[in-house]
Amino acid sequence: MMKSRILTLGFCAMLFLSLGCQAQFAFPKYCRAGDTISVFVGTGSGKTWKTSNVTLGMYLSDDPSTLYYPTLRSIFYARPDPTSKVVNYQPDPMIDGITNGDIYQAVAVVDTVPGTPAGAYILRFSDTDGAVASFALNIVDGVGQKDQFINILGTNSDITQLELAPQKGIAFDSGFTIGAVDLTVDFDDSIATTDINVITAMINRGAGTFQNYQRMFYWEDDVIPPSNKVLKISIICPAGVDSDYLRFQIVYPEGVVNPGLSIISSKVVDVNGSPISGVTAFVTE
């Protein structure tokens, strides 16, 4: 059932988050041919692991020439509870460096190939940017079952709804300590209408490792006369935040090819309220 599966994914994703890296084995590392498994493929670099750009193959560990092609059902990103130990008391500072102050883990859901002979295999993921992740997986005797992710109501759930929505990022030039930002972002409201959202990382930015990442984040729709819809975004960082850690995303509906985002005004100040020159906010993929 989806309820039990997602709980399992959540627990193990947090386990590997604490390691700050990808898993070495699929979870579970033993399955029958045809079973659905989950694999923790690391953080990626800016969430580059996506269902649409990943190729998946499987081969015998002692015979790479014998190839099988499991089905990649979905890749989505999981985060720990904001009150968890890994968020508030990181065991490894490398985690922060990998994810720019955020904590997440890419989770792949895979249907293995029915009829695959029992044996030791390597499951290999590769994306269009050249990233590769490989995992050990043992196929055991028996007939596997594809998971339909039945929810608590007894109906099938679409696991792809956990995947990233279409989005663009907003980032700032590196090398500055920022106290506050005011941005006005234009978008093509004939395409994106009102279904456009501004999203910042949803984790605790409290004491310890994250103390210097604290910020207050506010945004709203606004109109520049006579009828130009824009996004007004304000960020306040009382302790000062490294400009690399002020990234956020603008999310828009599927089917919108390009929301036409452009930054039409930007004001950046330090912790004393003095303007900082040379800091540019820009749109990223």
- Domains of the chain, by residue range, sit at 2-162, 167-284
User: Does the pLDDT of residue 106 top 80, yes or no?
Assistant: yes
CATH code of the domain occupying 2-162? 2.60.40.10
Q: In the predicted model, what is the mean pLDDT of residues 245-273?
A: 90
pLDDT 10s digits, 110-167: 999 999 999 999 999 988 887 888 889 999 999 999 888 877 878 888 889 999 999 9
Domain 167-284: which topology? Immunoglobulin-like (2.60.40)
pLDDT 10s digits, 154-181: 888 888 999 999 999 999 999 999 999 9
pLDDT 10s digits, 31-68: 999 999 998 887 655 677 889 989 999 999 999 998 99
- Which residue reads 């499991």 in tokens? 70
pLDDT of residue 10: 36
